[in-house]
Amino acid sequence: MAEPSLAVWDAVYGLLKAGMACGVYDEVPEGAAMPYVVMSRLDATDADSHRTRRGEYFIYLSVWSSAAGQFEVLGLIGQIDAAVHATRPQLATGRAVSCRVTRKSAVSEPDGRTYQGQVTIRCIAEH
Sign of CA dihedral 59, 85, 14, 6: positive
Give CA–CA dist 26/13, Å, rounded: 8
Q: What is 4-126's CATH topology?
A: STM4215-like (3.30.2000)
pLDDT band at 47; cut points 50, 70, 90: confident
Q: What is the DSSP letter of 48?
A: -
Neighbouring-strand partners of residue 25: 38
Pairing between strand 54-65 and 23-25? unpaired
Segment 74-89 shows an average pLDDT of 97
CB-CB contact of 94 with 75 (8 Å): no
What is the pTM assigned to this prediction?
0.92
Give the start-to-end residue ranges of the domains of the chain. 4-126
Does the pLDDT at position 48 exceed 90?
no
Close Cβ partners of 66 (under 8 Å, ≥ 6 residues apart): 34, 35, 113, 114, 115
CA distances from 72 to 6, 37, 64, 93 (A): 30, 12, 9, 35
The edge-to-edge listing of strands for the beta sheet with 23-25 is 23-25, 36-46, 54-65, 115-126, 95-108
Instruction: Give the model confidence (pLDDT) of 3-17 as tens digits.
Output: 789 999 999 999 999
